């Protein structure tokens, strides 16, 4: 059989910045810097430090910037969680690298109740609902990224991973 990047056909913006072709050719002894992302909807799999990663409490680290954000519990379930978190990390000064010779398998599964709710399905009535959950998460995600931008501006730390020239902006109304 053949393998491909997760959702590479259905949602290429989600992983295209990894550049799978370059990753496959990458030497095992090197990390490859991802200097810009092709889409603000990029949602790579991440390996992160765990120390001092809380956006709601003061950071004891005297060097502000990349160590500011942890995955917020409000993003449990489904919808805008990885996209928002990655954008917050990028806006807070994180740099991204492709790790050679490491990969994950995604096992297809049925849509969760959280996904159905986010996408506007009433799983009990099997029909479209108000999409209230989507609107709530979209607004929370906007505020979360704005907080990351503010913290970065206050810290003076430069943003290290930018949107590539001609890259796709995040269109909130699409989510």
| Nearest C-alpha neighbor of 75 from the set 143, 153, 164, 173 | 143
Cα 67 to Cα 54: distance, rounded to the nearest angstrom = 8
Which stretches in the chain have pLDDT values below 70? 1, 50-71, 121-133, 171-175
Cα 139 to Cα 160: distance, rounded to the nearest angstrom = 25
What is the value of pTM for the model shown? Answer: 0.72
In the three-class reduction of DSSP (H, G, I as helix; E, B as strand; rest coil), residue 146 is classed as helix
State how far the alpha carbon of 114 is from the alpha carbons of 10, 23, 41, 87, 124, in Å: 20, 33, 20, 22, 13
What is the H or E stretch that residue 34 is in? strand 32-34
Question: What is the pLDDT, as a whole number, of residue 63?
Answer: 46
Question: What is the pLDDT, as a whole number, of residue 108?
Answer: 80
Q: Tell me the CB-side half-sphere exposure of residue 170, using CA atoms within 13 A.
A: 21
C-alpha distance across the termini of the chain, in Å: 33
Question: What is the pLDDT, as a whole number, of residue 57?
Answer: 47
What is the residue whose two structure tokens read 């997760």?
6
Bridge partner list, 121: 128
CB 122 within 8 A of CB 128: yes
């Amino acid at each position: 059989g053949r393998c491909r990047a997760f959702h590479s056909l259905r949602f290429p913006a989600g992983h295209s910045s990894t550049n799978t072709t370059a990753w496959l050719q990458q030497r095992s002894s090197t990390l490859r810097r991802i200097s810009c992302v092709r889409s603000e909807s990029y949602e790579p799999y991440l390996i992160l430090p765990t120390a001092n990663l809380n956006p709601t409490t003061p950071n004891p680290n005297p060097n502000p910037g990349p160590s500011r954000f942890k995955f917020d519990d409000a993003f449990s379930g489904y919808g805008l969680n990885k996209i928002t978190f990655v954008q917050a990390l990028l806006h807070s000064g994180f740099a991204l690298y492709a790790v050679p010779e490491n990969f994950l398998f995604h096992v297809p599964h049925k849509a969760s109740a959280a996904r159905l709710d986010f996408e506007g399905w009433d799983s009990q009535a099997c029909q479209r609902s108000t999409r209230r959950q989507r609107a709530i998460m979209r607004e929370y995600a906007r505020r979360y990224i704005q907080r990351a931008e503010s913290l970065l501006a206050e810290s003076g730390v430069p943003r290290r991973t930018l949107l590539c020239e001609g890259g796709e902006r995040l269109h909130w109304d699409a989510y």
